[in-house]
Chains A and B, each alone.
Chain A
Amino acid sequence: MWHMLRQIFRIGLVTEAPPATDAELIRSQMQKDIHRVFGRALCIRHVDAGSCNGCELEIHALGNPYYNLEGMGIKFVASPRHADALLVTGPVSRNMAEALKRTYDATPDPKWVIAVGDCAACGGVFGENYASLGRIANVIPVDVTVPGCPPSPMALLQGILKAVRQAPG
């Protein structure tokens, strides 16, 4: 236990302020917006609708100490019934289309859908064929798209902020 505490104190806080050049993305602003709209944490449910798992790696990175997503008042939840927003990745495979629609239906209104990555935004390298229905908007309504292959954690944060700002508050 002592060694673990020593390591924690030695490393200290590594959570970063977003880059100064990016005037729009200010940590406190994000917290304020989320609080104004939701009055509590923003709850996000991730759905992989057919991704190559590249976007998932960067969604995971949001939770690391540098980005500290939960510190901003955003948390990932286990059920769509607890979610305010869906973070959807991949082109929609035909085999996932039904599960995606059901997940969307299970999410209470009002809800936002953030399509993450080039595939989710426009079909990406996979496009449309017998097994792929292409972009997310072909299957469920999309509010915000975050391009990138995969999008960086910063781009993801901006996408989430954009969705929050679209929310009536």
Chain B
Amino acid sequence: MMTMTRWHDIDVDWTAMPGALPAMHAEISPAQLLLVCRRVREEGGRLVSLWGEDRSEGSAAYRLCVVLDTATCLRVIECPIHSDAPTYPDLSGIFPSAARLQRATFDLLGLRAMGSDERPWLRHSGWPADYFPLRAGAGPAPTEAARKPYPFVRVEGDGVHEIAVGPVHAGTIEPGHFRFSVVGEKVLRLEAHLGYVHKGIEKRFEGMTLAEGIRLAARVSGDSTVAFAWAYAMAAEALTETQVPERALMLRALLLERERLANHLGDIGAIGNDAGLAFGLAQFSRLKEDLLRVNAKLWGARYPMDALVPGGVKSDLSREGVQLLLDSMTALEQELQVLRDLYDNHAGLQDRFMDAGVVTPELAQQLGVVGLVARASGQAQDWRASLRMAPYDEASVKAITGERGDVAARVDVRFDEVSDSLRLCRHFIATLPAGPICATPGTLRSGALAIGGVEGWRGPVLVALRVLADGRITRCHPHDPSWHNWPALEHAIINNIVPDFPLINKSFNLSYSGHDL
């Protein structure tokens, strides 16, 4: 029996969604969508994701899907949209980070946010402007379109010149284009042009079974493989009424925290290196390597790309494995203490970190920044704490914040989160119950939308899923937190000097692949 609830005085009926993630669902009109979005914004809520879907159902063929974060639960909205006028109201005035999501939604499905920025985002010249890959019956890929330069916003003035960087960068990083407008060394404006690694992931999901899809979900952004696989599995489990065994949930959490540890350790070293301290990179990359080798021993892979399956996890942890984990964590903790003191007391390093790439708390809130970057700018948001999902609900997680919003704060939050992740790992190991590690799926709920989400190391990761009666995926939308933070990077660099960009960029460490899909 479904129960409907009202939220404030808005004439919308909300239904609780099945699954582990606390979420309310409503199907509403575009006009009501604006009302709800404004209300969520007024109460300090955030946009999580926005995407479109072709449901090929009569005249209201399209759906616009919007997910909002209202502190204790998510609100999932579906808006039917008529195929003869595939438009909806622009939400970027309420949530600035909606702008690029809306542009991507047009590129992939042809749904236009009225009065918004009409420049293509994910579509470069790989396919023509009238080909919409996610429309039902889109057909095979047509030939490439004529190459057109991307219309960057120009900065005019005496002595202003542009520096174009990418898509192929000088280091081993992902491809994207950055256009700096500078006077001397000072950056007046940065505009990013992404989409270079768009490889049609959402299209690829179509027609896969739920069991097949998790391999692809685990490869949306390689550095967040556990986060995406877990979010996907959670959505799949909501669709199949699967109760994941407690032991499996704890093992998943252990893997997610180890993913956080690996990335944070790597980042702390690399940020130090970008500030001229090669010593930091050598030391922290050694610690990261130690951690990956333990992963290889216990999970059979340095990066556990296929450790999760819908219903649970693939492999169990033995008693010897637990001991190895505990020993390696003790060793890591000792090393960290020495290295954190070194970082904190290194005047040259702190001089580069302090006041570089500032995102003030006000700006973070205004832009709707998420995850680690938001926390370093005083925003206490962490799904592990706010959504109270097992097994985090009994692990007393608190969002770890900094106030300065600069590179130093982003390094500090990483150090603090490393300590807290180690605490969480010990907690999960100590309370690991006996029992099965995987459950068999129950009855399939075809046609309904389901979501799953976790707080990955970078921020909140969301996956939305819908399957047909034959058990095959008709729509899967994976959402990376980088969508909200890329625009903040453009603000953070203003008035800094060009040579500080690699340092500031690294302190954000955003995903290109997770964003471009």
A88-126 vs B, CB cutoff 8 Å, 1 = contact: the mask equals 001101111111000100000000000000000000111
Say yes or no for A157: interface residue by CB 8 A criterion.
Answer: no
Q: Interface range on chain B: under 10, 10 to 19, 20 to 34, or 35 or more?
A: 35 or more
Q: What is the CA–CA distance of A111 and B235 in the complex, to the nearest angstrom? A: 46
Stretch at the interface among B337-345, B351-359, B373-381: B337-345
Stretch in B18-26, B33-41, B153-161, B278-286 touching the partner: B278-286
B292 interface residue (CB < 8 Å to A)? yes
A63 contacts chain B at the CB level, 8 A cutoff: yes
Does A140 reach chain B (CB closer than 8 Å)?
no
Q: Which of B140-157 contact A (CB under 8 A)?
A: 140-142, 144, 147
Stretch at the interface among B212-220, B314-322, B391-399: B212-220
In the assembled complex, B119 has its CB within 8 A of some CB on chain A: no
Picked from B174, B302, B342, the residue with its CB within 8 Å of the CB of A51 is B174
Q: How many Å lie between the Cα of A54 and that of B218 in the bound state?
A: 10
Closest CB in chain B relative to A54 CB, distance in Å: 3
Give the CA-CA distance A11 to B287 in the complex, in Å: 11
A28 within 8 A of B: no
Residue of A nearest to B142 (CB): A130
Q: Which residues of B contact A145 (CB under 8 A)?
A: none
- Look across to chain B and name the residue whose beta carbon is closest to the beta carbon of A76: B172
CA distance in complex: A52, B140 (Å): 23
A53 to B216, CA, bound (A): 14
User: With A and B bound together, what is the CA distance between A126 and B513 in angstroms?
Assistant: 12
Given the known inter-chain contacts A3-B342, A57-B303, A149-B305, please indicate yes or no for A99 contacting B222, CB distance below 8 A: no
Q: Do residues A51 and B285 form an inter-chain contact, with CB atoms below 8 A?
A: no
Chain B: minimal CB distance from A80 (Å): 8
User: B342 to A64, Cβ gap below 8 A?
Assistant: no
Contact B173 A52 (CB under 8 A): no
Question: What's the nearest-Cβ distance from chain B to residue A64, in Å?
Answer: 4
In this complex, what residue of B is CB-closest to A53?
A: B222
Q: Does B390 contact A (CB under 8 A)?
A: no
Which stretch (B54-62, B184-192, B200-208) binds chain A?
Answer: B200-208
Interchain CB contact (< 8 A) of A125 among B171, B219, B296, B512: B219
- Residues of chain A contacted by B175 (CB below 8 angstroms): 47-49, 96, 99
Instruction: Tell me if A7 and B285 are in contact (CB < 8 A).
Output: no
Task: Provide the residues of chain B in CB contact with A124, threshold 8 Å.
Answer: 219
A135 to B193, CA, bound (A): 24
Given known A-B contacts A7-B339, A51-B174, A53-B174, A131 and B198 have beta carbons under 8 A apart: yes
B511 contacts A53, CB within 8 Å?
A: yes
Q: Which of A51, A61, A93, A94 interacts with B289 by CB under 8 Å?
A: A61
A127 within 8 A of B: yes
- List B261-276 residues whose CB lies under 8 Å from chain A: 266
| CB-nearest residue of chain A to B346 | A4
Chain B residues lying within 8 Å of A3, measured Cβ to Cβ, are: 338, 341-342, 345
Known: A48-B197, A53-B221, A61-B292. 7 other contacts (CB 8 A): A60-B285, A64-B289, A94-B127, A94-B144, A125-B216, A131-B203, A150-B305
